[in-house]
Amino acid sequence: MTDQSQLNDQNLTDERGPMADTTPVFSTGAGINEATIRTISAVKQEPQWMLDLRLQAYQLYLQMPMPKYGPDLSNLNLDQIQYFQRATDHVARDWEDVPDEIKETFELIGVPEAERKYLAGSGAQYESEAVYSNLKRELAEQGILFMDTDTALQRHPELVRQYFGQLIAATDNKFAALNTAVWSGGTFLYVPANVHADIPIQSYFRINAGRTGQFERTLIIVEAGASVNYVEGCTAPNYSEDSLHAAVVEVFVKPGGYCRYTTIQNWSTNVYSLETKRAQAEAGATMEWIDGNLGSKVTMKYPSVYLVGEHATGLMLSIAAAGNSMHQDTGAKMIHLAPNTSSSIVSKAICHGGGRADYRGLIKFTKEAHHAKSHVECDTILLDDQSASDTFPVNDIDVNDGTIEHEAHVSKISAEQLYYLQSRGLDEKSAAQLIVMGFLEPFTKQLPMEYAVELDRLIKYQMDGSIG
C-alpha cells in the first residue's frame, strides 16, 4: 500500500479542502422519516420483504433509547445526518470504470495497488454504496460469492433472506435498529464447503463528506470445512461537522470452518463509530476477530462470538489508540453455549494527548458449557497524565468445571526502558515509539506484512507530538 495509505486525512487536506470531493448523483437529504426508508428501498428496487423489515426496524429505532453506558453521545445530532447518498450510478468491475474523482480518493489510500499486489478480491464503498467490486477468477470458479450486499440481495435474494438479521436483530440496540432501517452497501461473502480462500479478500469503506451516515450491512457465510481471511479498512477526512458510522456485521462459521475478520479503522476525529458485530461458530469451527481502532471521535464496538458447537473456538485480538478528543470504548464478548469450547481476548490500548480508551467485555459460560476455557488480557499504556483508561469486565459463569483467566494492566512507559534505549543512541521520541510498537507486537504479527508496516506508520503518525 502507498505511504499515504490509511493515514488520518488531516495530512491529505490543504487549502483545496478534502481530497477528491464529489457530488452524489442522488441523496435523500438530511434527516430521516418513513418516506426516507421507502425512498431508499425504492431506488434499490428491493423486494417487499426487505421494505417491510426496514419499516419495522424504523419503528423500533424511534422507540429505543440511546445506550445508557459508555461514551457521551449527547452531541450526536441524528437529525442532521444524510442517511443515503449514491456516489455513482453503477458498481464498476474494472478499476478504470470508477469515476475519476472517486478513483483519486481510493488511489491515495492504496486500493488498486493493494489489489494488484496480494488481494484475492477487493471491493470499495464510497458513502452509502459500493463503487467497485472484483474477485479473482480462480476463486469465483470455486463458487465463492463476493459482492456488495445490495447486489447480493438482487442476485441471491433467498440466501440473503436466510441469514439477514439472524444474529443481530433490529431489537438488539438502537443503532442496530437504525442500520436495519437504512442499511446500504456492505460486503456479502459466501464460501462453499471445503473451499479455502487463504489470500485476503478485502473491502474499503470511505466517508468523504461531513454530516454523512454510513450504514453498511455485512454478511459472511463460511460453510463446513471452508476458510476465509477477510480484511476491511475504513477512513474519513476531517470536517467541522460530525458523521456517523453504524455498521452491522453477521458472520456464520459452519462446522469445522475458519474465518478471520480483520478491521483497521482510521476514522477522523469527527466520526462516531457505533457498530454491532457478531459471529456464530458451530462445532469445531474457529472465528477470529483482529480489530484495530486508530481514529474516530467516539468508538463503541464489542465484537462477539457465540460458540454454539462443541470444540468451537473464538479469538479476539484488538488495539485501540486514543488521542486528543478521542474516546475508544471497545472490547469483546464470548458466549460459550456448548461443552469444550474455548475463547481468548487480548486487548491492547494506547492513550495520549488526553485520550480515553476503555475495555468493556463479557465472558459467559452457560449451563451447557462444560469444561469451557477462556482467557482475557487487557493492557494499556498511558503516555501522559491527562489520558485515562478503565476496564469493565463481566464474567457470568453457570458451570463449576470451566476455567477462566482475567488479567489487566495499566502502566506508563518505563523510565528504565527509555534510559536503556537512549543509552544506545536513540532519542526519547524514537525510544518511546519503539517501546509502544513492542507493546503492540502481538497484534501486528497477525497482520500481513503490508498491513503491519502500514500500522506502524499510523501509530507513529498519531503519536507524533505526544512524546519526545
pLDDT band at 452 (very low <50, low <70, confident <90, very high): low
With beta carbons less than 8 A apart as the criterion, state whether 240 and 210 touch: yes
pLDDT of 304-347, one tens digit each?
A: 999 999 999 999 999 888 988 899 999 999 999 999 999 999 99
312 vs 29, higher pLDDT? 312
* Cα–Cα dist 27/37, whole Å: 12
Instruction: Note the pLDDT of residue 332.
Output: 97
The residue segments making up the domain with residue 36 are 9-301
Residue 347 lies in a domain: no
Q: Which of 257, 281, 301 is the last residue of a domain?
A: 301
* Cα–Cα dist 109/163, whole Å: 32
Q: Are residues 420 and 297 in the same domain?
A: no
Q: Are residues 151 and 289 in the same domain?
A: yes
Grouping H, G, I as helix, E, B as strand and the rest as coil, residue 398 is coil
Asked if residue 40 has pLDDT above 80, the reply is yes
Residue 405 lies in a domain: no
Instruction: Note the pLDDT of residue 129.
Output: 44
Number of folded domains in the chain? 2
Q: Please give the torsion angle defined by the CA atoms of residues 145, 151, 152 and 157, in that order, rounded to the nearest 10 degrees.
A: -150
Q: What is the mean pLDDT of residues 186-199?
A: 91
> Max CA-CA distance within the chain?
69
Count helices and strands in the chain by DSSP H and E runs: 12, 25
pLDDT band at 193 (very low <50, low <70, confident <90, very high): very high
Q: Are residues 297 and 438 in the same domain?
A: no
Average pLDDT, rounded, for the chain: 81
131 vs 220, higher pLDDT? 220
431 vs 247, higher pLDDT? 247
Provide the grid cell at 125: 464503498
Alpha helix stretches (DSSP H) within 5-69: 34-43, 48-63
pLDDT band at 360 (very low <50, low <70, confident <90, very high): very high
DSSP 245: E
Residue 335 lies in a domain: no
Asked if residue 24 has pLDDT above 50, the reply is yes
pLDDT band at 110 (very low <50, low <70, confident <90, very high): low
* Cα–Cα dist 180/194, whole Å: 31
221: closest CA among 256, 183, 250, 262? 250
Residue 71 lies in a domain: yes
Instruction: Note the pLDDT of residue 85.
Output: 75
432: which residues sit within 8 A by CB, 6+ positions away? 383, 413, 418, 463, 467, 468
Q: What is the mean pLDDT of residues 220-230?
A: 96
Distances (CA, A) of 263 to 196, 239, 319, 391: 20, 23, 10, 22
Q: Are residues 297 and 421 in the same domain?
A: no
Instruction: Note the pLDDT of residue 15.
Output: 28
Residue 389 lies in a domain: no
Burial of 255 (0-12, 13-18, 19+ CB in 10 A): middle
Q: Are residues 223 and 84 in the same domain?
A: yes
323: closest CA among 348, 292, 359, 298? 298
Residue 26 lies in a domain: yes
Q: Which of 268, 301, 334 is the last residue of a domain?
A: 301
pTM, two decimal places: 0.84
Instruction: Note the pLDDT of residue 118.
Output: 43
Q: Which of 254, 271, 301 is the last residue of a domain?
A: 301
Instruction: Note the pLDDT of residue 9.
Output: 37
Distances (CA, A) of 246 to 158, 216, 277, 381: 25, 7, 10, 28
Instruction: Note the pLDDT of residue 18.
Output: 41
pLDDT of 368-417, one tens digit each?
A: 999 999 999 999 988 888 999 999 999 999 999 999 999 888 877 767 77
pLDDT of 407-430, one tens digit each?
A: 888 877 767 777 667 787 777 777
Residue 443 lies in a domain: yes
Residue 201 lies in a domain: yes
Instruction: Note the pLDDT of residue 131.
Output: 41
Distances (CA, A) of 262 to 104, 142, 215, 308, 451: 25, 23, 18, 22, 10
Instruction: Note the pLDDT of residue 431.
Output: 74
